[in-house]
């Protein structure tokens, strides 16, 4: 059952790595230099649909970006608030 539910979630998700509209999602700095996520309206709508929340839900992204020499890393966590 768990595997079946997991497969359904994957199939119902709005995007895969191959078809994510990367050009419609940006990471920008705010006035204090903290990174934040900016999504195009249609990307937000599709994200809400895939998570079964209303379009008025407020996405809160927790983003961390780091680098040292030639190594870079980033982590993003999404917290949807209705």
pLDDT tens per residue across span 33-77? 999 999 999 998 888 888 888 888 888 999 999 999 999 999 999
What is the rounded distance in angstroms from the CA atom of residue 12 to the CA atom of residue 63? Answer: 25
What letter does residue 11 receive in the DSSP assignment? H
Q: Is 72 helix (H, G, I), strand (E, B) or coil?
A: strand
What is the rounded distance in angstroms from the CA atom of residue 61 to the CA atom of residue 58? Answer: 10
Predicted pLDDT at 53:
85
What is the rounded distance in angstroms from the CA atom of residue 4 to the CA atom of residue 50? Answer: 17
Owner of token pair 């190594």: 71
């Amino acid at each position: 059952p768990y595997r079946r539910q997991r497969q359904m979630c994957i199939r119902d998700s709005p995007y895969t790595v191959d078809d994510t509209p990367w050009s419609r999602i940006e990471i920008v700095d705010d006035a204090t230099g903290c990174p934040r996520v900016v999504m195009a309206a249609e990307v937000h709508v599709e994200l809400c649909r895939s998570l079964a929340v209303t379009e008025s839900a407020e996405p809160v992204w927790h983003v961390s970006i780091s680098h040292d020499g030639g190594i870079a890393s980033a982590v993003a966590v999404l917290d949807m608030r209705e």
